[in-house]
A = this chain, B = another copy of it.
Amino acid sequence: MQHNASLITNTLRMAGIRPSVHRIAVMRYLTTNRIHPTAEDIFKALIVEYPTMSRTTIYNTLHLLSEKNCVRTIDIDKNNTRFDIDTIPHAHCMCTGCGIIFDAPLTNTPAPPDGFKCSDMQVLFKGLCEKCKDINS
């Protein structure tokens, strides 16, 4: 993944983040796995490749990436913060049956009220995905 690695390195540099091995690894995981993972998901996946990696590093990295707008945090799941590398505005659907979170297009874009300096907008739908809907009917 020479190509990906250098793309990620550039992205990090442009955001003012030193491209350490761990930071690149987190970015690569998020780029490759578009599942809106939790910090724990990322940790479990990366500890295999980097056995000395600490959970705190994951949290540190995610905070930094979020602060520099390289990743977006999603608060759709009460128990865990989810992370999304796609920073282009879109909606999220969470299935209350199987827990999957997937992207949805944002047809109607809501606008924040006048006077509010908005830095982040989230559109969340909760309900049942097609599979779970059929099972429960």
Task: Mark A residues whose CB is within 8 Å of B.
Answer: 73, 75-78, 81, 91, 93, 96, 104-113, 115-130, 133
Question: Contacts A124-B122, A124-B124: A130 and B104 contacting too (C-beta < 8 A)?
Answer: no
Question: Contacts A75-B75, A75-B76, A77-B75: A120 and B112 contacting too (C-beta < 8 A)?
Answer: no
Q: Which residues of B contact A104 (CB under 8 A)?
A: 112-113, 116
CA distance A124 to B73 in the complex (A): 13
Of all A-B residue pairs in the complex, the 4 with the closest CB atoms, nearest first, are: A108-B108, A118-B127, A120-B126, A117-B128
Question: Contacts A118-B125, A122-B122: A93 and B113 contacting too (C-beta < 8 A)?
Answer: yes
| Closest B residue to A118 using CB positions | B127
Are B113 and A111 neighbours in the complex by a CB distance under 8 Å? Answer: no
With A107-B111, A117-B133, A120-B124 already in contact, 7 other A-B pairs whose C-beta atoms are closer than 8 Å: A75-B76, A93-B113, A104-B116, A116-B125, A119-B127, A122-B123, A122-B124
